[in-house]
Amino acid sequence: MNDQLLELVDELSRVGADAVQRGLALASGGNLSVRVPGADEFAITGAGTFLDRLTVDTYAVVDLEGRTTDPSSSVRPSSEWKLHQRTYRARPDVNCIIHLHPQYAVLLDALGHRVRFFTLDHAFYVKSIGRTDFYPNGSDELADTAALEAGNHNCIIMGHHGSSAIGPDIEMAYRRAVNMEQAAEATYRALLLGDTESEFPPEQWEKLHHD
Ligand SMILES: [Zn+2]
């Protein structure tokens, strides 16, 4: 890895620890990746690694064709590497992918509920959420349908599995990941209180997003 990628990997490892602390992933569930903007390869957490125990030695480097590119490394990429590879191919502007197994987002989706946005942060950072049906972990179907959804959304829920949040850098991808799950938890609580409609005022959306 070059110095620029090493620096990014270091930042991503801190995000992994924070995600586990927040309960967004359990044990070795979830996987993270990052690339230097414009690069045709990315660093991804290794197969079976715990997200709160990441170091530079627990990542594999994979190119956009799906080949591991660091011959000196014995780390195998996460079994979900295709999910990352296909999304990077679909979104040249994306340089970080945070794939987690957050419980509220996945539960609401399984129950057929839409995740609603309640706060400014939910609306601004998450903006919209795509979804895919369940496909086996590591499959082409999962990777391809998620990449297709990434054409329209920066946050995606994968049925009965997990979520992806993507962004131009690590900070933005992670902000999206935590806000998506917070919105899901808020939606869950609203449903428990019997509320099925409240959300961030639609007339305010225009002022938030000009693109
Ligand atoms: Zn997963």
Sign for the CA dihedral angle at 13, 172, 131, 37 comes to: negative
Q: How far is CA 134 from the centre of its chain?
A: 16
CB atoms within 10 A of CB 156: 27
- CB 73: neighbour CB atoms within 10 A? 17
pLDDT at 23: 92
30: CA distance to ligand 1 center in Å?
A: 5
Model pLDDT, residue 72: 74
In this prediction, residue 35 carries a pLDDT of 98
DSSP 3-state of 84: helix
pTM for this predicted structure: 0.95
pLDDT tens column, 81-138: 999 999 999 999 999 999 999 999 999 999 999 999 999 999 999 999 999 999 999 9
What is the distance in A from the centroid of ligand 1 to the CA of 72? 27
Inter-CA distances, 95 with 5, 34, 77, 170, Å? 11, 6, 17, 7
On whether the CB atoms of residues 42 and 33 are closer than 8 A, the answer is: yes
Quick one: pLDDT at residue 210?
A: 59
pLDDT of 211: 52
Contacts of 209 (CB under 8 A, 6+ apart): 124, 127
Residue carrying the six token digits 């995600």: 19
Structure token pair of residue 127? 């903006």
Distance 204 CA to ligand 1 centre (A): 34
Structural domain that includes position 50: 3-208
Q: Which residues in the chain come in under a pLDDT of 70?
A: 209-211
Rounded CA-CA distance 159/146 in Å is: 11
Tell me the CA–centroid distance for residue 169 and ligand 1, in Å. 20
Domain count of the fold of the chain: 1
β-pairing, 129-132 with 155-158?
parallel
Q: How far apart are CA 44 and CA 56, in angstroms?
A: 10
**What pLDDT is recorded for position 205?**
82
CA dihedral 130, 186, 96, 79 (to 10 degrees): -70
CATH of residue 177: 3.40.225.10
